[in-house]
Amino acid sequence: MTEDRFAHCLPALRELGLLPGTALAAFVVGSTVRGWDHGASDLDLVVVCSERFRDDRLVRVTVPLSPGEVDAIGFMRDGRRWEVKYWLDDQVDQVLDKVSRDSFDQDRTAGARLVPTEELLLGRLPTCHPLSGLPWVLRRRRQVEESAYQAYVLTDMLTAADTKAETAMGQLAAGDLPSAVLSARDAFGCAIDALLVGHGEYGALTKWRARRFQAAKPDLLTFEEYWEIETMRGYDPADPAQWVEQVVTLCKDIAMEVEIP
């Protein structure tokens, strides 16, 4: 990945009047930064400002912060869709406060602590490509690393994996084999996502799970072992119970391997 690939981004935003003078940092996020993008991928950018950017072209994304919206715009340029979100520096402070170590020590219940828009911001910061404001980006990356964000995400994913695994076994005992298979698949997805987050690979979109696994290279499973279950290659329609039990056992092994920091 070279800087030249994104050299056009800031000039394009300036040309369109979409780079305010109050911008503290701008960076590219998402699959494009990782080199995972394809012909239909959006180019996702974040601009952080000291004051709210006012422009009639922007739409508002509701967030439980003050102010209660993140402004955004989507547009086509050179045959590709761009999406830009405008965060306030103070809003970033508020999101980080939600996942502080003190907050985690007082209440380890994860649940709906962050909405998806907030999760995307924190989860994408470690791999973002800075266009401007490098000191701001480095400082925020360090704050995310020192926060309890990883612990909260792991708590959520491991809880979900355990719940779905128990559901699968309950359905299996009740003789509901099709439902048990689906629940086991869901449990496996949550467990793998937790394993990857433990290696610093954030994200819960199934479409990028294989890519994230290849990037993380966890010791517990090889990619081939992971892929065999992900694709249900070893599933025997004549004995679904065996596959469900195997997957549930692996989910428990993963839960024992993943440490919540």
**CA-based torsion, 213, 216, 222, 223: positive or negative:** positive
Q: Over the chain (261 residues), what is each successive 10-residue block's mean pLDDT?
A: 77 97 97 88 96 96 97 94 98 96 77 84 95 98 96 92 98 98 98 96 91 96 97 96 98 94 83
The residues spanned by each domain of the chain are 3-147, 150-256
Q: Which CATH number fits domain 150-256: 3.40.50, 2.60.40, 2.30.42, 1.20.120?
A: 1.20.120
Query: Which residue, 120, 125, 121, 130, is CA-closest to 1?
Result: 130
In this prediction the pTM is 0.91
Strands 129-132 and 80-88: unpaired
CA–CA separation, 230 and 225 (whole Å): 9
Q: What is the pLDDT of residue 1?
A: 39
Instruction: Name the amino acid, one letter, at 147.
Output: S
CA–CA separation, 229 and 233 (whole Å): 6
Which tokens in the block code for residue 150? 């990883």
**43-49: strand order across its sheet:** 59-62, 69-77, 80-88, 43-49, 23-29, 129-132
* CATH superfamily of the domain spanning 3-147: Beta Polymerase, domain 2 (3.30.460.10)
